[in-house]
Amino acid sequence: EIVLTQSPATLSLSPGERATLSCRASQSVSNYLAWYQQKPGQAPRLLIYDASIRATGIAARFSGSGSGTDFTLTISSVEPEDFAVYYCQQRSNWPPITFGQGTRLEIK
């Protein structure tokens, strides 16, 4: 099973700042990695798939990068609506499909 480790667990930023979220895989997942955003009481929303492709309707301030074992989700300038929990997810060598434990982006 491929384990995804996200860091930091919590990221405290002010609106307008740049957010950098990390996801590290226990073995290579090539570019088969996605990022999701989840707000309280809501289902997750797909932001990025295949490491760097923005999903339909996702704002350009969200970008993904990386390949192999190290991946980054960047929010270029955090908006008030971006405060949420972010999960990475891999689809390489599955089953099982696995998720990271999440990074909480909170208002500083």
Partner 1 sequence: QVQLVESGGGVVQPGGSLRLSCAASGFTFSGYAMHWVRQAPGKGLEWVAFIRYDGSNEHYADSVKGRFTISRDNSKKTLYLQMHSLRVEDTAVYYCAKDLRYGSSWSHFDYWGQGTLVTVSS
| 68 contacts partner 1 (rule: CB under 8 A) | no
Name 88's bridge partners. 35
Can you tell me which of 24, 45, 54, 61 binds partner 1, judged by CB under 8 A? 45
Residue 7, exposed/middle/buried by CB under 10 A (0-12, 13-18, 19+)?
A: middle
| 101 contacts partner 1 (rule: CB under 8 A) | yes
Which range in 19-27, 64-72, 75-83, 97-105 contacts partner 1 by CB under 8 A? Answer: 97-105
Number of chain positions touching partner 1 (CB under 8 A): 23
Q: How far is CA 104 from the centre of its chain?
A: 10
Q: How far is the CB of 13 from partner 1 (least distance, A)?
A: 21
72-88 burial, b at 16+ Cβ within 10 Å, e below that, comes to: bbebeebeeebbbbbbb
| 50 contacts partner 1 (rule: CB under 8 A) | yes
